[in-house]
Amino acid sequence: EAQVTQNPRYLITVTGKKLTVTCSQNMNHEYMSWYRQDPGLGLRQIYYSMNVEVTDKGDVPEGYKVSRKEKRNFPLILESPSPNQTSLYFCASTPVWPQKNTEAFFGQGTRLTVV
């Protein structure tokens, strides 16, 4: 079954304690992306990756890091989490041209609370 798997689903942590949210896809997609969802703001892109070892900032990258050492994995790293990073996070993967019927496949979401 084609899927994007995020872990953990829920996480409560304290300010400053490094954490990693994992994301893995089994569809051999080149493009992967992280979004955060906040009330009244919709989903906003944090970082994206167009292939292995190719990553770039999205619209709200401050306080986050990513890596893409393998095609299937795209972890999101918060080196020193702060309360303003409390949010719902989604990983997504997308097939690139020349594949038709482009759509983004989303993970189940990670609810992060930083206290």
Partner 1 sequence: AQTVTQSQPEMSVQEAETVTLSCTYDTSENNYYLFWYKQPPSRQMILVIRQEAYKQQNATENRFSVNFQKAAKSFSLKISDSQLGDTAMYFCAFMKHVTPSNFGNEKLTFGTGTRLTIIP
Q: Give the interface with partner 1 as residue ranges (CB under 8 A).
A: 31, 33, 35, 40-45, 48, 50, 56, 58-59, 88, 90, 92, 94, 96-97, 101-104, 106, 108-109, 111
Nearest approach in angstroms of CB 39 to partner 1 is 9
Given the complex with partner 1, which of 13 and 94 has the nearer CB atom? 94
Q: 47-81 as b/e, with b when 16 or more CB fall inside 10 Å?
A: bbbeeeeebeebebbeebebebeebbbbbbebeeb
Radius of gyration (Cα) for the chain, nearest Å? 14
Measured from the CB atom, is 78 or 92 closer to partner 1? 92
